[in-house]
Structure 1
Amino acid sequence: MTTALILAPLPILAVLLLPTPWLAAAVALVMLGGLWEWTRFAGIHEPLPRAAFLAANALLMAALVWAAGPALFTLKVVSLVGALWWLVVLAWLRQGGFGAADNAHNRAMKLLAGTLCVLPAWCALGWLHSEDPYGARWTLFALAIVWAADSGAYFAGSKWGRNKLAPSISPGKTWEGVYGGLAATALLAVPALPLLGLGWSQLPALVLVTLVVAGASVVGDLFESLMKRHSGVKDSGDLFPGHGGMMDRLDSILAALPVFVVGKAWLGL
């Protein structure tokens, strides 16, 4: 709890105060740290190949920014790919044993999955935050959806949780928790509406995208849990006492960001 209280203001201040290039650079470092942990899920433990994987992803980030142009074309395309990727992940979760064997093919597939989780989320953040005049507020709202979904799921699951969501992947999660998370995020949309520069006629669209993103955040959480179960890892790391590693903090956000920015653009918000 102490760790959470100390860390909570940092992303909020970063989103609100940093210019987009500086925020993107800071988040890139965080996400690359998460990818370092992800290599353990893929069964890669030697420092050299892990570092090479990080370097390749860092170069991809740089290339995407270089090629983006004023319209942010590459960032938008990769964000769309990321939103579609999470539909693939949903199918993967239904076949939980897929890719579980420790062999070269599955290790390569999981490394690719890590890239498909991280790069679109990073691109989505850059696209969303750069939008004027409310880009920082929209970015903070996207993160708040994840936090509200997580908190609502925890309290509802603790009090009413009976029906397991995915017992073979994450035994602690329940459908009641999911419903509690969805309710919390739907309520979040109401006070956020005027802060995001929207009119009340746009509330149904905002609630819709909020609910979809909250659902996506659950998929992100479950996917990381599945990867940990495949690799026999309890936490992605021990960076945060009592809170696991970097990827344990990022899993839901990685799914939420591309789904959010694509849904926002699609609905014209």
Structure 2
Amino acid sequence: MPKKRIITAIFIAIIFSAALFFLESYAFSVFSAVVIVYAGWEWARLSGLLTPPLKLLYAFFVLSILILSGYILGLAKTTPIHLDTAKVLMTWLVPWWAIALLWIQGYPSSAVLWGSRCVRGLMGLLVLVPTWLSIVILTSLDNGKWLVFVVVLIVASADIGAYFSGSRFGKNKLSPNVSPNKTWEGFLGAIIANLCLTFLLGIFLKLNLTEWLMLFFIVMATVLAAVVGDLLESMMKRHRGVKDSGNILPGHGGVLDRVDSLTAALPVFTLIFIYSSFQL
């Protein structure tokens, strides 16, 4: 793995951890909104909006939707958000990933359905806005910052497991038309890595059998969502003929290239968690 990539990854981990655990929940929501808006700038390029004014306009539109969403949730420094409203929003927004999965499976033929700039722009909102909403919702809960950290840990474990398993054993392509480098063996590695994570979390949290099974369900659903999120961005980049969403992160590309898995993993985890009685 290139040295530049490792250094950037360490830098990202430090900045993220510091922001997550040292900023108040409201401040972290603002910090996350800045990241999401910049990701919107990158998504504009994937949507086919190539000039700076058009990309800026799209990023501003993303910001406007975030502000509106925060208002609907009742996001404020001193009062809790409206959890019932959060449940309604996530219930309506998260199922879109089932449509995304169908489009990924049908690529390149499916591009006839989403290939226009308008539809791709709408896809960006469905990818980015629920990601931010998930962060706002989770950090408003008890131990919420640790919940966000657990999701990141699940995605990181999946990436590491997929990388080593895919590099060593990868032969059968997972989605050759979308991302030729991803294999079923790598996917299995992601599952195994998170089985180990589930086992360790269960021991650390001293869970009973029922709680352990619930944790297993949440983790596996999050892993599957992470894979779909990764593949969706890969499909968008392949359709546009670009390698990365941007170049702001040396060795990694753009912000979207780092958060693509989280854009699906966070909303799916959040939706399941807020409807369950499971506690971390």
CA RMSD in angstroms, aligned pairs only: 2.0
Counterpart CA distance in 2 for 1:78 and 1:196 is: 30
Does structure 2 conserve the Cα–Cα contact (< 8 Å) formed by 1:81 and 1:120?
no
Counterpart CA distance in 2 for 1:84 and 1:98 is: 22
Does structure 2 conserve the Cα–Cα contact (< 8 Å) formed by 1:217 and 1:256?
yes
2:245 corresponds to which of 232, 236, 243 = 236
TM-score by length of 1: 0.93
- The aligned counterpart of 1:120 is 130
Counterpart CA distance in 2 for 1:193 and 1:123 is: 27
- The aligned counterpart of 2:47 is 42
- The aligned counterpart of 1:109 is 119
Counterpart CA distance in 2 for 1:247 and 1:25 is: 18
- The aligned counterpart of 1:264 is 273
1:86-142 CA distances to partner (integer Å, 9 max, x unpaired)?
1110011111125647x9x7100000000000001110111011101x111111001
- Name stretches of at least 5 consecutive residues in structure 2 with no aligned partner: 1-5, 75-80
TM-score by length of 2: 0.89
Percent of aligned pairs sharing the same letter = 35
Is 1:94 aligned with 2:105? Answer: yes
The amino acid that maps onto 2:61 is: A
- Superposition pairs for residues 64-213 of structure 1, below 5 Å? 64-69=69-74, 70-98=81-109, 100=111, 106-132=116-142, 134-193=143-202, 199-213=208-222
- The aligned counterpart of 2:24 is 19
Q: Secondary structure of 2:258's partner?
A: helix
Does structure 1 conserve the Cα–Cα contact (< 8 Å) formed by 2:44 and 2:50?
yes
With over 3 angstroms needed to count, the CA separation of the structure-2 counterparts of 1:168 and 1:3, relative to structure 1, is same
Does structure 2 conserve the Cα–Cα contact (< 8 Å) formed by 1:82 and 1:259?
no
Is 1:2 aligned with 2:12? Answer: no
1:247 corresponds to which of 238, 256, 259 = 256
1:194 CA displacement: 6.5
- Name stretches of at least 5 consecutive residues in structure 1 with no aligned partner: none
Deviates most, 22-31 or 64-73: 64-73
- The aligned counterpart of 2:77 is none
Q: Secondary structure of 2:261's partner?
A: helix
